[in-house]
Amino acid sequence: MISELLNENTIKIYDSVKDWKEAGKIAGKLLVDTGKVKESFIDAMIKSVEEYGPYIVIAPGIALFHARPEDGVKSMCLSLVIVKNGVYFNSGDKDPVKLVFVLGAVDNESHLRLLSELVNLLQDKNLVKMIISAHTEKDVIQLIQKKQLETVKEL
Protein backbone atom coordinates (compact mmCIF):
# COMPACT_ATOMS: atom_id res chain seq x y z
CA MET A 1 0.00 0.00 0.00
CA ILE A 2 2.81 2.46 0.85
CA SER A 3 4.48 1.71 -2.47
CA GLU A 4 1.23 2.59 -4.25
CA LEU A 5 0.91 5.93 -2.45
CA LEU A 6 4.50 7.16 -2.27
CA ASN A 7 5.91 8.04 -5.68
CA GLU A 8 7.92 10.80 -7.33
CA ASN A 9 4.90 13.12 -7.06
CA THR A 10 4.37 12.55 -3.34
CA ILE A 11 7.99 12.57 -2.10
CA LYS A 12 10.28 15.60 -2.03
CA ILE A 13 13.75 16.12 -0.59
CA TYR A 14 14.90 19.44 0.89
CA ASP A 15 18.10 20.48 2.62
CA SER A 16 16.15 22.73 4.97
CA VAL A 17 12.80 24.42 5.49
CA LYS A 18 11.86 27.55 7.44
CA ASP A 19 9.89 25.82 10.21
CA TRP A 20 7.51 22.96 11.00
CA LYS A 21 4.56 24.77 9.42
CA GLU A 22 6.39 25.11 6.13
CA ALA A 23 7.33 21.41 6.26
CA GLY A 24 3.66 20.50 6.77
CA LYS A 25 2.47 22.83 4.05
CA ILE A 26 4.99 21.46 1.54
CA ALA A 27 4.06 17.86 2.33
CA GLY A 28 0.34 18.70 2.24
CA LYS A 29 0.67 20.57 -1.06
CA LEU A 30 2.04 17.41 -2.68
CA LEU A 31 -1.33 15.79 -1.94
CA VAL A 32 -3.29 18.84 -3.12
CA ASP A 33 -1.31 18.83 -6.37
CA THR A 34 -2.11 15.14 -6.95
CA GLY A 35 -5.82 15.75 -6.28
CA LYS A 36 -5.96 13.64 -3.11
CA VAL A 37 -6.90 16.39 -0.64
CA LYS A 38 -8.33 19.91 -0.69
CA GLU A 39 -6.37 22.97 0.50
CA SER A 40 -8.59 22.99 3.59
CA PHE A 41 -6.90 19.75 4.74
CA ILE A 42 -3.54 21.53 5.05
CA ASP A 43 -5.10 24.31 7.13
CA ALA A 44 -6.78 21.75 9.40
CA MET A 45 -3.62 19.74 10.05
CA ILE A 46 -1.58 22.88 10.85
CA LYS A 47 -4.35 24.19 13.13
CA SER A 48 -4.43 20.86 14.96
CA VAL A 49 -0.73 21.10 15.83
CA GLU A 50 -1.12 24.74 16.87
CA GLU A 51 -3.99 23.71 19.12
CA TYR A 52 -2.66 20.46 20.62
CA GLY A 53 1.11 20.80 20.33
CA PRO A 54 3.63 18.56 18.56
CA TYR A 55 1.77 15.28 19.22
CA ILE A 56 2.35 14.42 15.56
CA VAL A 57 6.06 13.81 16.22
CA ILE A 58 5.56 10.08 16.63
CA ALA A 59 9.19 9.03 17.07
CA PRO A 60 12.59 10.71 17.15
CA GLY A 61 13.01 12.49 13.82
CA ILE A 62 9.59 11.48 12.44
CA ALA A 63 6.36 13.50 12.18
CA LEU A 64 2.99 12.35 10.86
CA PHE A 65 0.64 15.21 9.97
CA HIS A 66 -3.04 14.37 9.56
CA ALA A 67 -6.50 15.81 9.93
CA ARG A 68 -10.06 14.49 9.90
CA PRO A 69 -11.45 12.92 6.71
CA GLU A 70 -14.13 15.63 6.53
CA ASP A 71 -11.38 18.29 6.41
CA GLY A 72 -10.92 17.65 2.71
CA VAL A 73 -9.67 14.13 1.99
CA LYS A 74 -10.76 12.90 -1.44
CA SER A 75 -8.94 9.54 -1.34
CA MET A 76 -6.49 7.77 0.95
CA CYS A 77 -3.05 9.28 0.50
CA LEU A 78 0.42 9.66 1.92
CA SER A 79 3.25 12.07 1.22
CA LEU A 80 6.79 12.40 2.53
CA VAL A 81 9.09 15.39 2.77
CA ILE A 82 12.66 14.64 3.78
CA VAL A 83 14.40 17.57 5.47
CA LYS A 84 18.12 16.73 5.49
CA ASN A 85 19.06 19.31 8.15
CA GLY A 86 15.94 18.65 10.21
CA VAL A 87 13.20 20.94 11.42
CA TYR A 88 12.19 21.66 15.01
CA PHE A 89 8.67 20.99 16.29
CA ASN A 90 9.37 21.79 19.95
CA SER A 91 9.09 18.10 20.74
CA GLY A 92 12.06 17.77 23.06
CA ASP A 93 14.34 14.79 22.44
CA LYS A 94 12.36 13.83 19.31
CA ASP A 95 13.68 16.94 17.51
CA PRO A 96 14.96 17.59 14.93
CA VAL A 97 12.47 15.95 12.57
CA LYS A 98 13.85 14.78 9.23
CA LEU A 99 10.94 12.69 7.90
CA VAL A 100 7.67 14.60 7.57
CA PHE A 101 4.71 12.49 6.48
CA VAL A 102 1.16 13.60 5.70
CA LEU A 103 -1.58 10.97 5.90
CA GLY A 104 -5.02 11.54 4.47
CA ALA A 105 -7.67 8.99 5.44
CA VAL A 106 -11.20 8.79 4.01
CA ASP A 107 -12.69 7.26 7.16
CA ASN A 108 -11.65 6.07 10.63
CA GLU A 109 -10.56 2.56 9.62
CA SER A 110 -9.30 2.16 6.05
CA HIS A 111 -5.90 3.71 6.83
CA LEU A 112 -5.03 1.22 9.60
CA ARG A 113 -3.25 -1.17 7.21
CA LEU A 114 -1.27 1.76 5.82
CA LEU A 115 -0.27 2.83 9.34
CA SER A 116 0.79 -0.73 10.14
CA GLU A 117 3.03 -0.81 7.04
CA LEU A 118 4.46 2.58 7.92
CA VAL A 119 5.29 1.48 11.47
CA ASN A 120 6.98 -1.64 10.08
CA LEU A 121 9.15 0.49 7.77
CA LEU A 122 10.03 3.08 10.38
CA GLN A 123 11.05 0.49 12.99
CA ASP A 124 14.02 -0.31 10.75
CA LYS A 125 16.50 2.32 11.98
CA ASN A 126 18.96 1.49 9.21
CA LEU A 127 16.27 2.02 6.57
CA VAL A 128 15.31 5.36 8.13
CA LYS A 129 18.95 6.49 7.94
CA MET A 130 19.18 5.41 4.30
CA ILE A 131 15.95 7.26 3.42
CA ILE A 132 17.26 10.43 5.07
CA SER A 133 20.54 10.05 3.15
CA ALA A 134 18.87 9.36 -0.21
CA HIS A 135 19.79 11.75 -3.01
CA THR A 136 16.68 11.40 -5.14
CA GLU A 137 13.00 10.63 -4.73
CA LYS A 138 13.55 7.56 -6.92
CA ASP A 139 16.16 6.29 -4.43
CA VAL A 140 13.63 6.62 -1.60
CA ILE A 141 11.03 4.66 -3.55
CA GLN A 142 13.53 1.88 -4.28
CA LEU A 143 14.54 1.65 -0.61
CA ILE A 144 10.91 1.35 0.49
CA GLN A 145 10.08 -1.22 -2.19
CA LYS A 146 13.13 -3.30 -1.28
CA LYS A 147 12.15 -3.30 2.41
CA GLN A 148 8.57 -4.28 1.57
CA LEU A 149 9.78 -7.18 -0.59
CA GLU A 150 11.99 -8.39 2.27
CA THR A 151 9.02 -8.19 4.65
CA VAL A 152 6.83 -10.25 2.28
CA LYS A 153 9.57 -12.90 1.99
CA GLU A 154 9.77 -13.15 5.79
CA LEU A 155 6.04 -13.95 6.04
Domain residues for the domain of 14 are 2-154
Q: Residue 86, by phi and psi: left (phi above 0), alpha (psi -120 to 50) or beta? A: left
Q: Is 66 annotated in the active site?
A: yes
Strands 62-66 and 97-104: parallel
Q: What is the pLDDT of residues 37-49, one digit of tens each?
A: 999 999 999 999 9
The CATH number assigned to the domain holding 120 equals 3.40.930.10
Q: Residue 90, by phi and psi: left (phi above 0), alpha (psi -120 to 50) or beta? A: left
User: What is the domain count for the chain?
Assistant: 1
Residue tagged active-site, from 66, 98, 111, 147: 66
Q: Which pTM does this prediction carry? A: 0.94
Q: What is the pLDDT of residues 20-37, one digit of tens each?
A: 999 999 999 999 999 999
Of 45, 25, 33, the closest CA to residue 8 belongs to 33
